[in-house]
Amino acid sequence: MKTGRPFDDIRALTSSMPQADIAARESAKNIIRDFGEKLSPIGDMGNYAAWLAGWQGKDPAIDRPLIAVFAGSHDIAKYVFEGDIISKSKARVKSMTEGTAGVRGVSTSLQAAFKVFELGLEYPAADFTQQPSLSEKDCAAAIAFGMEVVAEGADIIALGNAGFGSATAAAAIARGLYGGTSNYWAGGEGPSAKSRIEAVEKGASVHKDLLTDPLEVLRCFGGRDIAGMVGAILAARHQAIPIILDGYVVCAAAAVLHALDPDSISHCMAGHVSAEPAHRALLDRLDLKPMLDLKIGIGDGTGAAFALGVLRSSCNALTTLKTV
């Protein structure tokens, strides 16, 4: 790192971000206007296509999509799940890499590249009810690792998460950033929800003096996989690569950057709203309207992958409208 503390360079990156190409965005909108704006030929998808054009700097097209899933393990999972955290984390990743997860079927149908980014499965983030999940150095290193996603050469990235314990971490991040009750951010049904609420409440109390800084919120609660997604979103912005956000955990990573600078996630869209109780509330805080509402209850990129398919079809429709 070039500066005194690992987080200093992260802050510097959020203060020097490229902007969307306004001319390309307006050109896409004009195609719809010329056809007949009141006819709304592709409905709300016209806005998404124009958003994509703005970040691609040309007529929108999806030629090299990547579905990137970040996976890690969290000691906080022991409050919600029984059994060995590491083995359960590995089993979840195995289902992704061997193609038995639904998102793999969607990615194949889209002819999209698919990659799982593993971040320390065998080294779970610390139990945040006892200490911060990560040191500043380890958190910054995970962010840097996540930035490598742009090396895949994608023209758009659908971002998912398969971390074990990451939903509890995401709830703690949301509470740390926005306040409110632990039940609001971590609620649900059944005994596991009660345990998750209790863990988030205790974590918020233990780290209450650090919650004025979004990067400290990430360090205290996030774990390597969520920090990695922060890096992925940040690096994609600097490369003008648009991002489709998946579920609650992915959006918690985006929320950290949004808290640093709301403009830092302008290159992101919400692919869907999941069945996670607080996901819609988090999207409201991010001022993002979800494209789809499919009642998907998993955050492994499936919803974002479906949205990717719809967005690609919208680009093809826009191309056809241009020739009319």
What's the pLDDT score for residue 33?
84
Report which residue type is found at 147: M
DSSP secondary structure string, 27-64?
A: HHHHHHHHHHGGG-TTTTHHHHHHHHHHHHTSS---SS
Which of 4-18, 185-199, 285-299 ranks highest by mean pLDDT? 285-299
Six-digit token string for 14: 């959020």
Reply yes or no on whether the pLDDT at 1 is more than 50: no
Those residues whose C-beta lies under 8 Å from the C-beta of residue 220, and which sit 6 or more positions away, are 128, 132, 133, 172, 176, 203, 207, 210, 211
Contact 315, 61 (CB under 8 A): yes
Q: Where do the domains of the chain lie, and which CATH numbers do they carry?
A: 6-17+63-317 (3.40.50.10210)
> Measured between alpha carbons, how far apart are the two ends of the chain, in Å?
53
Pairing assessment for the beta strands 113-118 and 65-71 based on DSSP bridges: parallel
Contact 288, 269 (CB under 8 A): yes
Q: What is the mean pLDDT of the chain?
A: 93
How do residues 110-121 score in pLDDT, each as one tens digit?
999 999 999 999
Cα separation, 243 vs 261, in Å, equals 17
How do residues 195-226 score in pLDDT, each as one tens digit?
999 999 999 999 999 999 999 999 999 999 99
What's the pLDDT score for residue 322?
78
Run of H or E residues at 109: helix 102-110
How do residues 141-153 score in pLDDT, each as one tens digit?
999 999 999 999 9
What's the pLDDT score for residue 122?
94
